Structure 1
C-alpha cells in the first residue's frame, strides 16, 4: 500500500483529501495548530483500517521545517509515495497596507514550503517508481493564479508562482515523479474574511454552473491525479464550475 502526506490536512479541503486518499493509501495528516482535529481524523481513519493514518506537526516556516517533516513522514512507514501540498495561508494584503510579515506568510506557505518539501521528498517519491507506479505531487493552486483577486496581490503572486513551480518540477522530476496542480474556484467560503450574502450572490452569478462546489469535488480530482492519471504531468486542473471563464 502506498503512503501519502497531505499538508494542512486537519480541516477543510485537506481533511476531505485525506479521507479520499485513505481509500487506497496510508495517509499522514500534517497539521500546524489543529492538533485535536488532526487526531480525531487519525482515529476515524484508523477505525476503518488499523495503522493506516498518522498525524505529524510542523510549522513549515522554512526549509529546515520541511526537511524535518519529510524525514518524519518517511520514517512513519518507510517512505512517501504521494505528496499533496495543500497547506496555505490566505488573507487580503491591499497595496498600502501590506507588510513584510504578510509577504513571508503568504509566499512561505503557498510557494516556499511546497518547493522545499517537494525537494526533501523527491528521492522517496521517485523510489516508488521502481514498482512501475510513478511518485506523485499534487499542488493546491487557485484560479486566481491567472486572474488576480482584488486586494490579494501577494496571495495571487504566490499561487502564480506555485503554478510555475508545478510545471518546473514536472520537468525536473520526470520521469519518475509526476507533478500536477488543482485550482479550486468557489468551494468553501474563506474563514478569515466575512463574505456577505450580496457578495456571495455576485460570485455565484459569475459561475456558469450557478453553484458552489464541494470539498469532495476537490478531493476526487486529487485522487484522480494520484491514482488514475499515469500519463498526466505538468497540468493544472481548474475545479470551479467554469468560473475562470467569467472572472
Structure 2
C-alpha cells in the first residue's frame, strides 16, 4: 500500500496509544482522521501539529461511539473531506471493572458500544471504501479477550466479540479488504488505580520482564498495514509473552 495519499481513520486518537499511532503514520506520509470523544483539546492540538507539518493532512472528528447518529457520521465525513479511506483502526475502548453483583445494563452498554458495536458498524460502513483501495482494518484488542481478568467479565466478553469480529470480517471482506488485530499486553500503565505491587505482579507474569513501549504497537500496526499483504484474520499479541502464563 502506498502511503503518499492514503487516508487512515483512527478512533480514540486523542491520547495514549491512539495518538502515538496517529503520529507514527502521519510521519510516514499518511493523511489522518483523528476521532475522539472527550479528548478534543488533545486531538485538536495533534491535528494542528500535523497540518503545520503538511497542510490539509489531518482532520479531527468528535463523536460519542455509543450514539449511533454520531458514530454513523464518521465515515461519510472522512469521505467528504478526503475522498478516500484506506485504513480503519478501531482503537477506541472503554475499560472498567464489572464485578458480579453490581454490574448494570449501562455498564454493559458502555463496554460493548466501544469495544464491539462501534467497531462492527464502523467496519461495515468503511468496507466498500476500503475495498476500492485494497485497504485494511486493524482492531486493537487485549490479551484479556483470551484470558479472563478478575472482575472484568463484561470487558472481556466485549473484547472477545471484537476478536470474533476480526476473524469473521476477514472471511467476509476477503479478498478486497484484510482484517487483522493487535492484542497489547502492558504497554502504558493506567493513569490511576494500579499500585506498585500490582505493577510488579504484571511484570513478574511477563516473560520479557518489562512493560512494552507504544512504539511496539506502532511497529505492529505498520506491519499489518504495509507489509502483511498475505495476512488476514490474525490477532498479533504484543505482550512480552504474557499470554504464555
Q: 1:119 and 1:63 mapped to 2: Cα distance?
A: 13
Instruction: Determine which of 12, 15, 19 is the counterpart of 2:19.
Output: 15
Once the two structures are superposed, the pairs formed by residues 199-218 of structure 1 within 5 Å of their partners are: 199-218=198-217
Match of 2:80 in 1: 75
SS in 2 for 1:76: helix
Give the deviation of 1:45 after TM superposition.
1.4
Q: 1:116 and 1:63 mapped to 2: Cα distance?
A: 9
Q: 1:69 and 1:203 mapped to 2: Cα distance?
A: 36
Q: 1:236 and 1:224 mapped to 2: Cα distance?
A: 13
Once the two structures are superposed, the pairs formed by residues 207-246 of structure 1 within 5 Å of their partners are: 207-246=206-245
User: Per-residue displacement from partner, 1:109-164 (whole Å, max 9, x unpaired)?
Assistant: 00000000000111111111xxxxx2100001000101110110000000000000
User: Per-residue displacement from partner, 1:22-48 (whole Å, max 9, x unpaired)?
Assistant: 112101000101111001101111222
Q: 1:238 and 1:223 mapped to 2: Cα distance?
A: 15
The TM-score normalised by the length of structure 2 is 0.96
Give the deviation of 1:62 after TM superposition.
4.1
Q: 2:96 and 2:238 mapped to 1: Cα distance?
A: 21
SS in 1 for 2:138: strand
Asked if structure 2 preserves the Cα contact closer than 8 Å seen for 1:63 and 1:116, the reply is no
Q: 1:76 and 1:3 mapped to 2: Cα distance?
A: 10
Count of residues paired in the alignment:
240
Give the deviation of 1:219 after TM superposition.
1.5
Once the two structures are superposed, the pairs formed by residues 42-57 of structure 1 within 5 Å of their partners are: 42-57=47-62
Alignment RMSD, CA only?
A: 1.0
Q: 2:67 and 2:137 mapped to 1: Cα distance?
A: 19
Match of 2:32 in 1: 27
Does 2:162 align with 1:162?
Answer: yes
Match of 2:117 in 1: 112
The TM-score normalised by the length of structure 1 is 0.95
Asked if structure 2 preserves the Cα contact closer than 8 Å seen for 1:125 and 1:136, the reply is yes
User: Per-residue displacement from partner, 1:47-93 (whole Å, max 9, x unpaired)?
Assistant: 22221111111111144333211110111110211000000000000
SS in 2 for 1:225: helix
SS in 2 for 1:91: coil
SS in 2 for 1:79: coil
Unaligned runs of 5+ in 2: none
Unaligned runs of 5+ in 1: 129-133
Does 2:143 align with 1:143?
Answer: yes
